[in-house]
Amino acid sequence: MTVRSEAEALRPTDAFAALYAQVQQFYAHQMQLLDAGEAERWAATFTEDARFDVPTLPKPVHGRPGLVTAAQRSADALAEAGERHRHFIGMLDLTERPDGVLDVRAYTIVYASRIGGGCRVHRVCVCTDVLVRSGDELHVRTRTVTRDDFP
């Protein structure tokens, strides 16, 4: 959860730019799938055996079937409540391990809007991911999210 070292954090190269753009695009697409209620497609952006540990779930989820269930439940609950959520991730602090695995520590703001009502900041979170590559594609192997309003 801690901020990593500065030595790791600074690499002004074309290779880093290609990686950083890919990771930004990956998150934009992934979060839009979640917010659109595309539970299966969202779960497919994780590895088969991914670990997903977020404050809104009583215990960590392991594997895609559990991710589909969690995303579908959230989408159903929002539809019933007449709300829309948007997960806005940014401030990506990205480092690459020697074996190509990626560590990302990022901020995620969740906005909530009531249909026919107003909008608000719902959650302020820190998201710590481990991303792995399979060919050209990225997948989340582990995701750990903390909420700023929790001790």
Residue 29 in contact with its own copies, rule: CB under 8 A: yes
Q: Which of 47, 74, 113, 144 binds its own copies (CB under 8 A)?
A: 113
Residue 84 in contact with its own copies, rule: CB under 8 A: yes
Residue 149 in contact with its own copies, rule: CB under 8 A: yes
User: Judged by CB, which is closer to its own copies: 16, or 81?
Assistant: 16
Residue 31 in contact with its own copies, rule: CB under 8 A: yes
Q: Which range touches its own copies (CB under 8 A), out of 22-30, 48-56, 60-68, 69-77?
A: 22-30
Residue 13 in contact with its own copies, rule: CB under 8 A: yes
Smallest distance from the beta carbon of 91 to its own copies, in angstroms? Answer: 4
Distances (CA, A) of 61 to 87, 118, 148: 19, 32, 21
Q: Which range touches its own copies (CB under 8 A), out of 50-58, 60-68, 69-77, 122-130?
A: 122-130
